[in-house]
Amino acid sequence: MGVINWLLYKVGGLVDSVEDAATGMATRGGRLAIQWPHDRRPGLIWRVPEPETVPKAERVTTASIFVSKQPVVVREYERALVLQDGRNQGLLEPGVYDLSRAPVTGRIEIIWVMLRDAQLRWGVGGVMSSDFVTVGGHGKVIVSVTDAEKFVLQFAAGRDELTQKALEDWVRDLVGGVIRQQFASRTAQELNQDREGFIQVCREKLTGLLAEWGLGFKHIEVDINLAGEYTAAAQQVAVTGFRNQQALMEAQMEAQRKQLEAAAEANAMLSKGAAEVRIMNMLQQSGLDPMRLEMVKALQSYAETPSGGGGLIGGDLHKGQAFAALTQALLDPGMPPQVKQTLRDSYPEEAKQIEAPGAGSPPPAVQAPAIEQAAAPAGPGGGMSREKIEQMIEGLDTQLAEGKITDEQYEQRVARWEKRLAELDA
């Protein structure tokens, strides 16, 4: 008889609750029952014995817990998988189990799994419908673990912990892939007129995909964002009783034209970006120190957005600072000639003033402004409430769906605000 068959022996007698049974066994046996301490170990799984990476002073359990009599508790909203020397021995349903009855040999591990629903955010943007209208979407999806054994062995295998954030990141990619495929296979008019049909197809596909990982699909919220030109024209057509069908077609053509223009602009930016990469590689190969490298990057960014006093990611670069940095770069004998020429092309008038005869000696070194992401005020939460930070995150979902930010920018900004939430919780 294997370990799991022994463990399936539950404590006998009628009790009011699992906790009462655990207390009674602990009182008779002199040892406290092991149960998942959710307040100290939040997440979707909990493994015992706890790994060596957890400091001894913080461990709830140790490797020797199964040497002598040891009660184990599994609650109604949990399941527990038993492993012996890494081999699956089976699943424990809710109840209290007397581990002292088991023929314990080798290494015994128990992995608890949370079955409660998890509400997760998702969002996609910049998708082209089949009639070349830009489409985006965002919303929430609710899932839960329905097959704890499959979830542990296929999804959580090898993990000492699994947070809801990690599950959300994985589910976002899965949902995004399904949504993108469905957006691309429909026209904007179909998406606008048959949203329920669209959502139903997404439900069916997600149900099958999630089941392969031991997850059950519960619900999905979908907010579809169509190109503004198309939406405005479609509303006008509805108001006038579809007498302005030509306006709708023109809106579609206008959306397609703008999309083509955007694609051409993106290609131009890509070519320009490749040139900038070559320049940066040349700077690094020439042994240019990091401070000079950052200064050149800052000047290039400023040259692209000169009207507002600079448009660097980390804040505005004032014109005086830009002029001083440009002077230092152009008069620096160690700056490669190709880089100087690039700066002259970007700042023709300023370069003439700086390099004119008698312009004077190079000014003192100017530290180029640091290029960093704009952040909220310092301190836990940046002085913002949890509700305000959650509103900021919801706003990012909308921006992604409308194509105002890229997936990479979305991930970076969401991570930053979630860090603020973690600081507030701490």
CATH number at residue 166: 3.30.479.30
pLDDT range class, residue 35, cuts 50, 70, 90 = very high
Residue of higher predicted confidence among 17 and 338: 338
Give the model's pLDDT for residue 272. 60
Same domain, 257 and 293: yes
Residue of higher predicted confidence among 289 and 397: 397
Same domain, 103 and 56: yes
Q: Is the residue at 242 inside a domain?
A: no
Same domain, 341 and 406: no
Q: Return mean pLDDT, the chain.
A: 76
pLDDT range class, residue 255, cuts 50, 70, 90 = confident
pTM value surpassing 0.75: no
Same domain, 390 and 420: yes
Cβ count near 182 (within 10 Å):
19
Domain boundary pick from 57, 86, 114: 114
As a whole-number percent, the residues of the chain with pLDDT over 70 amount to 68
104 vs 151: CA distance, rounded Å: 25
Q: Where are the alpha helices (DSSP H) in 118-227?
A: 148-150, 164-184, 188-193, 195-211
Contacts of 328 (CB under 8 A, 6+ apart): 295, 362, 363, 365, 366
33 vs 23: CA distance, rounded Å: 7
Which residue type sits at 263? A
Same domain, 154 and 192: yes
Look at 76-85, 292-301, 371-380, 388-397 and tell me which has the smallest mean pLDDT: 371-380
pLDDT range class, residue 377, cuts 50, 70, 90 = very low
Give, in order, the Cα–Cα distances in Å from 140 to each of 107, 170, 176, 251, 371: 41, 14, 11, 30, 34
Cβ count near 217 (within 10 Å):
20
Domain boundary pick from 226, 259, 278: 226
Same domain, 105 and 125: no
Look at 14-23, 91-100, 104-113, 308-317 and tell me which has the smallest mean pLDDT: 308-317
Same domain, 267 and 171: no
Q: Is the residue at 45 inside a domain?
A: yes
DSSP secondary structure letter of residue 154? I
pLDDT range class, residue 317, cuts 50, 70, 90 = very low
Residue of higher predicted confidence among 423 and 73: 73
Same domain, 85 and 173: no
Give the model's pLDDT for residue 238. 54
Q: Is the residue at 63 inside a domain?
A: yes
Three-class SS state of 246? helix
Q: Is the residue at 373 inside a domain?
A: no
Q: Is the residue at 347 inside a domain?
A: yes
Same domain, 102 and 178: no
Same domain, 74 and 9: yes
Q: Is the residue at 340 inside a domain?
A: yes
Question: Across 1-5, 37-41, 52-56, which has the greatest mean pLDDT?
Answer: 37-41
Same domain, 53 and 87: yes
Q: Where are the alpha helices (DSSP H) in 110-152?
A: 148-150
Q: Is the pLDDT of residue 190 over 60?
A: yes
Q: Is the residue at 370 inside a domain?
A: no
Q: Is the residue at 56 inside a domain?
A: yes
366 vs 387: CA distance, rounded Å: 41
323 CA to centre of own chain: 39
Contacts of 97 (CB under 8 A, 6+ apart): 7, 8, 9, 10, 11, 71, 72, 73, 74
- What domain count does the chain have? 4
Give the residue numbers spanning the domain of 85.
3-114
Same domain, 127 and 92: no
Domain boundary pick from 88, 114, 140: 114
